[in-house]
Structure 1
Amino acid sequence: MKKRRFQSDVTSDNILIDMYTKCGDLPASREVVGRMMCRDSVSWKSMINCYIQYVNYDEALKLASSMKVVLKVDSITCVMLLSVSTRLVDKDPGKEIHCDVIKLGFDSDLIVNNSMADMYAKCGPLNYSVKIFESMKTHDRVTWNKIIAACVQSGDFTFGLRMINQMRSEGVMPDVATVLGILPMCSFFTSKRQGKEIHGCLVEEGLACFDQMQKDYNLEPRIEHYSCVVDLLSRSQLIYKAERFIKSMPLKQMQVYGALYLVHADQVATQVAERVAEHAFELKPNDTGYYVLASNINASLGKWEQVRTIRKSIKARGLKKDPGCSWIEIKRRLYVFGTGDKFFEQFEEVNKLLGIVSGLMAKEGYVADLRYVLHDVEEDEKRDMLCGHSERLAMAFGLLNTEPGTPLQIMKNLRVCGIVTL
């Protein structure tokens, strides 16, 4: 185009931006945008989408702010920006977009409302999503799936099951996403009896939902559905039933083995987990995660020789374990913590606060569960290691640097540890 001196116009430049974005050349996309004499809504949206694709969410939001100065934002742009907000720990940008939605009159748009419900489900309290849901004049299947997902995200499974029953009563047929919301609720159901919370699994309800998926709704289960059923059976201590379920599956996938392998509360579960480990190593011998799980199971049983053997095997294969870390966002700045991390701002203050809180917990009768320390060290050292878990470091840092009463949202790259409670 340059050699032939084609006169560029908005349409051709928009196509160039789209092409460079999809080919992985962000600088070239920015160059095209920089030299454009005139930009339309497609130009702006293409560049915003470019930043989203390259996980540069702050730049996407900044670009959207610039766009609002020169062009009227449409509903599609609002949906894009709400999608960006779901990926941020800070929920303030999402609230700002919500304000724009109301000002621009898109608050009656079904797709926009579904996106807002999704955004609040992922970075806000459940009541925010519920308010959006209740303000909507019409609900489609996506709306119901979003509110059910919000219940799962917040842990309010009682309300989630009520929403599912209401959805059915209104004649809305579930889809694969709906079932994927129902099954975790059955695994983590909580009810109140005589003023106390009772935790348990709704095994029969979960299995019935899985059967209905095929028989009544004519839906083909995905690997995620099988994993949820295995998790449900495992958490209910029906370990052998979970193992038989895996063997009966038409799909043999590693993540289903992993769902069973994560449960190792007693010797019976450990025996099954060891058998599952053999299949896991055969199917995916270079997956570090399964070696780590095998090591953790042996460590929880005090089999330190087997632990050392597994760790040597990891090194011999040249495999590397992803280090666990937690992070918290405060005033638009991200703070990342690793387990046992001592090289971060305010380490001394955080360590002192954790010591104070641990002392108060002990006075209230809290006893540290040393099973979570999977290292062959003395008990005093194990207690110190528990205090330095990344979740606790992030939590203490958040307490030190926010106003009293501020909700703390902590993210983690690995499975949440059982010692997180303070």
Structure 2
Amino acid sequence: MSSSIVLNTLRSKHPKLALLQTCSSFTDLKIIHGFLIRTHLISDVFVASRLLSLSFKSTEYAYRIFSQIQSPNLFVFNLLIRTFSTSPEPSKAYNFYTQMLRLCIPPDNITFPFLIKASAEMECVGTGEQIHSHIVRFGFHNDVYAENSLVHMYATCGSIASAGRVFGGMSYRNVVSWTSMVDGYCKCGLVDDAREMFDEMPHRNLVTWSIMINGYAKNNRFEEAVELFEVMQREGVVANETVMVSVVSSCAHLGALGVGVRAHEYVVENRMNVDLVLGTALVEMYWRCGEMEKAVRVFQELDEKDSLSWSSIIKGLAVHGNAHKAIGYFSEMVRLGFVPRDVTFTAVLSACSHGGLVEKGLELYEMMKRDYKIEPRLEHYGCIVDMLGRAGKLAEAERFIEKMPVKPNAPILGALLGACKIYKNAEVAERVGNMLLEAKPEHSGYYVLLSNIYACAGKWEKIESVREMMKEKLVKKPPGWSVIEIDGKINKFSMGDDHPEMGKIRRKWEEILGKIRLVGYKGNTEDAFFDVDEEEKESAIHMHSEKLAIAYGMIKTKPGTIIRIVKNLRVCEDCHTVTKHISEVYGREFIVRDRNRFHHFRNGLCSCRDYW
């Protein structure tokens, strides 16, 4: 709309009505504002307040309009408080509230919800409590909108007890009240309390379902997120894109390909908008479930891409051992004008590490610093150390650590220590081991690795010092688990499990053990804890969770079916050897995702080339 049209409209009609009808852009707003100043109509509080209501997208411009209003009323102040409550400067909402009180303009039930929203935006419970006292003073403590805002604010600020007190004292609760409490419990990590309240709700809306499913996902309760989505479907509630991001992400963490595929089909059947967030979640779900080709297809079909979606596909290719493809995608990303982020470089450097591409990795590392001005983080340093270590360049890796501007953490030192074990370099291992002990890692795996290296070198006194440090720090091995999906059902195994079919699983494992021993398998107990005898170690390694999952998978699937397993810890050496033998003897393919990468076992070989 041109300025001449706006001005002609204003001149031909009553200006007050024209102001409400002709503005359709920020440019129009400025033209109208200028006209009002020239004609002195800006002094009319009715006209000025309507103009102000159109400027909510620009807090700076809203303030300029406000400064020209001679006698602002409650409507004007409420508009400003609302505008600033969701702005990058929510604290300014309180400035207008204070100014309003100084002018003896009493607040109403519209004022307080936005002031409380500002407190929630700032996550400032102290300010929220002050506004709460004003709500009581001005008699709005029974107003459902004010009470809902208080519940939300206290929950957002982590004061779930205060939220509960407000909720408990409400004379009338609507779906917003209940949903705010569910959301608050989820944000505080009290997922069981959230679910209890969710189940008690007289009515639920889509937002409630979304918050509860997302609450499970955010708190690493992925199986329950998927189960609740299935309940949601049975109750006939149609999910939206937000719900599906949580469901798809949960499938990714679980490695539940079948459930993930059905979730993708649900997205297509319901004609959902596969935006960047959902699209990237689908890409990640497929590669984290071991379907790299499908992940690539979904990525290529995305209508729009950003640095995060590119980073995801590069990371997927990296952990699957497709180093050259990962670098190719990185080059294409840069060629198309996307700016790599720190996570992008972590992914592509990891690809170089797994692929043994030392020169390319160092080139990309320098590019990151020089061309993109990205300050290296511990993850980047770790990739370089791992890359040099894998290539047998232990001295270079050690020098790199010495030159780091920050103190190396346990994963960085552990990467070099692992390389020392592979290349049997006791000299570097001892120096790195001393540094690792100084770092006092929490994870038991580093202590086990270090003790094994000391044992190989005959340094028994060092083993004793490692043992003492573990006792001092109360270091325990985190419980390992493995997940396998069979016919859409997620089955989780851990050592000592009382699975309903454990008898069959043990018999199957004994059969497998007998066959692989015929081709030379002998139990490797190096990764077992060193404070038990050899017989106990041998027994323990045969009950590792991934072995139970493999046996169960072979019972439940037809010969030739690919078996996919997800493990929360690093695959131990014995399980790695066992799976290679099984793939050869039974002609099966196994895709195992551990804490670090994917292992594709086929014909007695692994894609990691026995370095992980």
**TM-score interval, smaller chain:** 0.7 to 0.9
The residue number in structure 2 matching 1:353 is 512
Q: Is the 8 A contact 1:304 1:376 kept in 2?
A: no
Matches of residues 16-415 of structure 1 in structure 2 within 5 Å?
16-68=181-233, 69-106=235-272, 108-189=274-355, 201-254=356-409, 255-265=411-421, 269-284=425-440, 288-301=444-457, 303=458, 305-306=460-461, 309-310=464-465, 312-314=467-469, 316-317=471-472, 319-322=474-477, 325=480, 327-331=482-486, 332-336=489-493, 338=495, 344-345=502-503, 346-359=505-518, 361-362=519-520, 372=526, 391-392=546-547, 394-415=549-570
Which residue identity is paired with 2:181? L
* Residue 210 (structure 1) shift: 0.9
- After superposition, the Cα gap between the structure-2 partners of 1:414 and 1:349, relative to the gap in structure 1 and judged at 3 Å, is same
Matched residue SS, 2:563: coil
* Residue 252 (structure 1) shift: 0.6
Query: Following the alignment from structure 2 to structure 1, what is the Cα–Cα distance between the partners of residues 471 and 313?
Result: 47
Query: Following the alignment from structure 2 to structure 1, what is the Cα–Cα distance between the partners of residues 479 and 196?
Result: 38
- Between the two proteins, what is the percent identity of the paired residues? 31
Q: Which runs of 5+ in 1 are unaligned?
A: 190-200
Query: Following the alignment from structure 1 to structure 2, what is the Cα–Cα distance between the partners of residues 33 and 391?
Result: 35
Query: Following the alignment from structure 1 to structure 2, what is the Cα–Cα distance between the partners of residues 112 and 357?
Result: 44
* Residue 235 (structure 1) shift: 1.0
* Residue 251 (structure 1) shift: 1.3
Q: Relative contact order, CA 8 A, sep 6+: which one is greater? A: 1
Query: Following the alignment from structure 1 to structure 2, what is the Cα–Cα distance between the partners of residues 185 and 109?
Result: 27
Query: Following the alignment from structure 1 to structure 2, what is the Cα–Cα distance between the partners of residues 86 and 415?
Result: 18
- After superposition, the Cα gap between the structure-2 partners of 1:388 and 1:138, relative to the gap in structure 1 and judged at 3 Å, is same
Q: Which runs of 5+ in 2 are unaligned?
A: 1-165, 582-612
- After superposition, the Cα gap between the structure-2 partners of 1:415 and 1:65, relative to the gap in structure 1 and judged at 3 Å, is closer
Once the two structures are superposed, what CA deviation does each residue of 1:162-204 show, in whole Å capped at 9, x if it has no partner? Answer: 2222222222221111111111211222xxxxxxxxxxx1111
* Residue 3 (structure 1) shift: 6.2
- After superposition, the Cα gap between the structure-2 partners of 1:391 and 1:58, relative to the gap in structure 1 and judged at 3 Å, is closer
Which residue identity is paired with 1:118? E
Q: Is the 8 A contact 2:443 2:477 kept in 1?
A: no
Matched residue SS, 2:283: helix
Once the two structures are superposed, what CA deviation does each residue of 1:349-370 show, in whole Å capped at 9, x if it has no partner? Answer: 31222221332x34xxxx8696
Once the two structures are superposed, what CA deviation does each residue of 1:352-408 show, in whole Å capped at 9, x if it has no partner? Answer: 22221332x34xxxx869695777999999999987766455434432332122222
Matched residue SS, 1:410: strand
Once the two structures are superposed, what CA deviation does each residue of 1:125-158 show, in whole Å capped at 9, x if it has no partner? Answer: 1111011022223322222112112212322223
Query: Following the alignment from structure 2 to structure 1, what is the Cα–Cα distance between the partners of residues 194 and 544?
Result: 42
Which residue identity is paired with 1:347? R
Matched residue SS, 1:334: strand
Which residue identity is paired with 2:508? E
Q: TM-score, normalised by structure 2?
A: 0.59
- After superposition, the Cα gap between the structure-2 partners of 1:417 and 1:215, relative to the gap in structure 1 and judged at 3 Å, is same
Query: Following the alignment from structure 1 to structure 2, what is the Cα–Cα distance between the partners of residues 145 and 122?
Result: 14
Query: Following the alignment from structure 1 to structure 2, what is the Cα–Cα distance between the partners of residues 324 and 44?
Result: 31
Query: Following the alignment from structure 2 to structure 1, what is the Cα–Cα distance between the partners of residues 194 and 540?
Result: 48
* Residue 215 (structure 1) shift: 0.7
* Residue 37 (structure 1) shift: 2.8
Query: Following the alignment from structure 2 to structure 1, what is the Cα–Cα distance between the partners of residues 442 and 532?
Result: 29
Once the two structures are superposed, what CA deviation does each residue of 1:248-295 show, in whole Å capped at 9, x if it has no partner? Answer: 111113222222122224677321121122122223277644432220
Q: Is the 8 A contact 1:291 1:310 kept in 2?
A: no
- After superposition, the Cα gap between the structure-2 partners of 1:135 and 1:227, relative to the gap in structure 1 and judged at 3 Å, is same
Matched residue SS, 2:217: helix
Q: Which has more radius of gyration?
A: 2
Q: Is the 8 A contact 1:373 1:382 kept in 2?
A: no
- After superposition, the Cα gap between the structure-2 partners of 1:320 and 1:216, relative to the gap in structure 1 and judged at 3 Å, is same
Matched residue SS, 2:474: coil
* Residue 49 (structure 1) shift: 2.1
* Residue 92 (structure 1) shift: 1.5
* Residue 418 (structure 1) shift: 4.1
Query: Following the alignment from structure 1 to structure 2, what is the Cα–Cα distance between the partners of residues 286 and 55?
Result: 20
Query: Following the alignment from structure 1 to structure 2, what is the Cα–Cα distance between the partners of residues 318 and 214?
Result: 38
Query: Following the alignment from structure 1 to structure 2, what is the Cα–Cα distance between the partners of residues 179 and 239?
Result: 23
* Residue 20 (structure 1) shift: 2.2
- After superposition, the Cα gap between the structure-2 partners of 1:47 and 1:265, relative to the gap in structure 1 and judged at 3 Å, is closer
Matched residue SS, 1:264: helix
Query: Following the alignment from structure 1 to structure 2, what is the Cα–Cα distance between the partners of residues 286 and 56?
Result: 23
- After superposition, the Cα gap between the structure-2 partners of 1:395 and 1:174, relative to the gap in structure 1 and judged at 3 Å, is same
Query: Following the alignment from structure 1 to structure 2, what is the Cα–Cα distance between the partners of residues 81 and 351?
Result: 37
Q: Is the 8 A contact 1:21 1:50 kept in 2?
A: yes
Q: TM-score, normalised by structure 1?
A: 0.83
Query: Following the alignment from structure 1 to structure 2, what is the Cα–Cα distance between the partners of residues 414 and 58?
Result: 18
- After superposition, the Cα gap between the structure-2 partners of 1:316 and 1:156, relative to the gap in structure 1 and judged at 3 Å, is closer
Q: Is the 8 A contact 1:295 1:306 kept in 2?
A: no
- After superposition, the Cα gap between the structure-2 partners of 1:291 and 1:406, relative to the gap in structure 1 and judged at 3 Å, is same
Which residue identity is paired with 2:453? I
Query: Following the alignment from structure 2 to structure 1, what is the Cα–Cα distance between the partners of residues 337 and 202?
Result: 52
